[in-house]
Amino acid sequence: MVSKENTVYQSVLICDSFHNYFGPIGEHYPSCLVPLINRPVIEYALDSLRVSGIQEVYIFASTHADLIRSYVNKHWTPQCNEDFNIFVYSSDHYFSLGEILRDLFSKAVIRNDFVLIYGDTVCNLPFKQYLDDFKALRLKDKLCVMAHLFRLSSPLHRTRRKDDESIAVLQASDKRLLCYEKIHLKKIDLDLLLFQNNKDVEVHFDLQDTHISICSLSVLSLFADNFDYQTRDDFIKGIMGQEEILGNTIYAKILDSPYYAARAVSPIAYDAISRDILQRWTYPNVPDLLMNYAYLRNHIYKEGISNITAGSILSRNIAIGDKTEIGANVEIHYSVLGSNVRIGNNVRIEGAYIWDNVIIEDNCTIKTSIIGKNVIIKASTNINNGCLIADNVILGPNVNIKEISYIDSKHRDEDDPGILEVLQQIDAKNLGESAKGFVWIDDGREDGQEESDGGSFSPEIWGLPPDESEQGISSASSSENEQSDDEYEYDYKFGDGDDGDDQKRYYAEVVDSLIRGIECKIACENLIVEINASKHAYNIQYKDVAFLVSRAIIDAVSKLANQEGKATAGKIKEMVKHLSPLYVNYIRDDQGKIDCLKAMEEFTVSVMNQSSSIPILVHFISYLYDDSVLDEDTIIRWHQRMEILYSPVSEIDQYVIEQKSLRSHAIMLKFIEWLKTAEEESESD
């Protein structure tokens, strides 16, 4: 047992991103072993943990676990002393954070508060202090289970992942997390109660998730108790949901400069973090302090001896590894070159990450791409934005690799030499004559990892011009703004109030089943069962059903009638006859009759082409009259009294005009006239 005075500072390092964002490169490396400025990412993470006073690190790995284990054994175990110990656990079952933490719980190696961090994190945080702070916080709030670290960054910051945007709602006084939601749409709904029950509420969209948490031991037991918690977001949601029952709380800790933390989880983040390091935002995590790089002006870093021919241009933000040779008339901007890279003459490199031992021959152009180790790019090859080239690929000569190409040296079906040969021929056309490589195809779904990741949101693609996405924001927002102009003046077409969406969906479903019912001649009893079932599903009130169903029938019938060319009276009559049990079922009182008429009128008005739709309406009314679903009194009463239809607010005047023209349409008047005389006749009988 460890006595209280002798607290061991512990950390859990998750070396798996549970999703391969790096395409072909991810086949060779886990994201934490990708070289970032010529140094594996995990080294940054381990280094900052060690420097900040963490004494025990538990590494959990699943994919590429052997690589991680051997890396740690080779680079860290020899130096480990009493004060910094690394333990590596690996298992194929670690396919989510939840699984890992449940396993960790059963191992019982964590004895007090710990730091939960991912292996691909670059940060410069004082974890020891955070753990002490957290301890103090837990003395104040005994039910606090987690403090989550956020970094302040503007919504357009380059390290923000568009697929990882979230909104955090905090209590202003003590930064308690009240709500944390991922954003998938252009709009987010926050619970009104949040604002009613808390006096001052901070809404943050300027927080970037660092995926670093300071956790108490109860986090592990909570994960163990709730088998459905897969991700940290599940956990946060669960804690928020059960707050009233368990009272557990989560706090947010907001990092501001000079603290830095970001995950190099995808090529976009990798690119952004590389630039941050080169521009020294991550200080002291910069190449000249971590490695043997010399720091020159314009953020150029050089290691050891590199042979750069005079006349080549190195603009700014460049790191060049040991023993790298650069030919004549070469231009390099914003790029990182590994060691032993050989670059020919007349080469232009812009925003590229070129790893060790790469050979680039003369007259090549490389833009915003990652080139893996030992790659050979033959002469006069262009590599465009967003390409990911895995280790050992050979490309060229004389080809243009188009944007966002993912190329691997091996093919998944490499055991089958026949296929391989065919593929080689196909790819030779695209990748060059002496190429060795295959276009990589994403099949990440095979092991079901994607589902556990919870992202139906398609991840951003690296390499698209950055201004495009930004323009997207402003143009989309301006158009959206016009839409949201009348945001609060609800303008649902039918129904009043908030359940308009449900009604729309219910309505669409009813129309579908009616069309199917007419086409396949399904018995009306079955249709009624179907309509009732969806009524419950969408929580539609009984009083609305008569209206919705009547509207749906005329909608369905006129759709079908118009489909077959000219709408003939006979066809309509046939269909109405088929569906008449529906009317009998749903229209039971006078209010129902009025609703039915109003529904049909509203539909007719909403249809653009009035000349054809008014006759259909009149036909409908007359059939229903014949079927004695409707009676003369109701119809005449309806015709005399103008009632305002449900209509979009913006078009209300338009609707009134059309309603008038409908009521005074010749056919309609004729019909009403006929009805009146029929009534008189029946009276005189």
Residues that bind other proteins (CB under 8 A): 154-156, 165, 167, 172, 183, 185-192, 195-196, 198-206, 473-474, 476-478, 480-482, 484-485, 487-488, 497-498, 650, 653
Tell the smallest beta-carbon distance from residue 589 to other proteins (Å).
30
CA dist 451 to 148, 183, 456, Å?
24, 18, 8
Cα(113)–Cα(138) distance, integer angstroms: 10
Nearest CB to other proteins, comparing residues 179 and 328? 179
Strands across the sheet with 353-354, in order?
Answer: 293-296, 300-303, 318-320, 336-337, 353-354, 370-371, 388-389, 406-408, 438-439
Nearest CB to other proteins, comparing residues 157 and 660? 157
Closest CA to 11 of 107, 138, 128, 147: 128
Tell the smallest beta-carbon distance from residue 182 to other proteins (Å).
12
Query: Could you tell me which residues come within 8 angstroms of residue 673 by beta carbon, excluding any fewer than 6 positions away?
Result: none
Cα(228)–Cα(234) distance, integer angstroms: 8
Question: What is the phi/psi pair of residue 320, to 5°?
Answer: -130, 125
Nearest CB to other proteins, comparing residues 488 and 542? 488
Tell the smallest beta-carbon distance from residue 650 to other proteins (Å).
6
Tell the smallest beta-carbon distance from residue 192 to other proteins (Å).
5
Tell the smallest beta-carbon distance from residue 506 to other proteins (Å).
19
Tell the smallest beta-carbon distance from residue 198 to other proteins (Å).
7
CA dist 563 to 77, 207, 552, Å?
75, 53, 16
User: Looking at residue 132, what DSSP letter applies?
Assistant: H
> In this structure, are residues 321 and 305 in contact, taking their beta carbons and an 8 Å threshold?
no
CA dist 581 to 499, 526, 587, 624, Å?
28, 11, 10, 11
Tell the smallest beta-carbon distance from residue 402 to other proteins (Å).
32
Cα(644)–Cα(631) distance, integer angstroms: 22
Tell the smallest beta-carbon distance from residue 261 to other proteins (Å).
18
Residue positions counted in the chain: 685
Tell the smallest beta-carbon distance from residue 456 to other proteins (Å).
17
Nearest CB to other proteins, comparing residues 480 and 574? 480
Nearest CB to other proteins, comparing residues 79 and 196? 196
CA dist 635 to 32, 342, 546, 597, Å?
74, 89, 16, 8
Cα(178)–Cα(249) distance, integer angstroms: 9
Cα(395)–Cα(369) distance, integer angstroms: 14
Tell the smallest beta-carbon distance from residue 188 to other proteins (Å).
5
Nearest CB to other proteins, comparing residues 87 and 490? 490
Nearest CB to other proteins, comparing residues 160 and 411? 160
Does residue 155 have a cis peptide bond before it, meaning omega lies within 30 degrees of 0?
Answer: no
> In this structure, are residues 363 and 380 in contact, taking their beta carbons and an 8 Å threshold?
yes
Burial call 207-218: b when 16+ CB within 10 Å, e when fewer: bbbbbbbbbbeb
Tell the smallest beta-carbon distance from residue 242 to other proteins (Å).
20
Nearest CB to other proteins, comparing residues 181 and 530? 181
Cα(113)–Cα(258) distance, integer angstroms: 25
Partners of 12 in the β-ladder: 58, 116
Tell the smallest beta-carbon distance from residue 510 to other proteins (Å).
25
Nearest CB to other proteins, comparing residues 309 and 477? 477
Nearest CB to other proteins, comparing residues 190 and 328? 190
Cα(677)–Cα(685) distance, integer angstroms: 12
Cα(470)–Cα(483) distance, integer angstroms: 20
Nearest CB to other proteins, comparing residues 186 and 559? 186
Tell the smallest beta-carbon distance from residue 207 to other proteins (Å).
8
What single letter denotes the amino acid at residue 361? E
Partners of 171 in the β-ladder: 201
Cα(230)–Cα(245) distance, integer angstroms: 21
Nearest CB to other proteins, comparing residues 179 and 662? 179
Cα(513)–Cα(82) distance, integer angstroms: 72
What is residue 146's three-state secondary structure? Answer: strand
Nearest CB to other proteins, comparing residues 3 and 483? 483
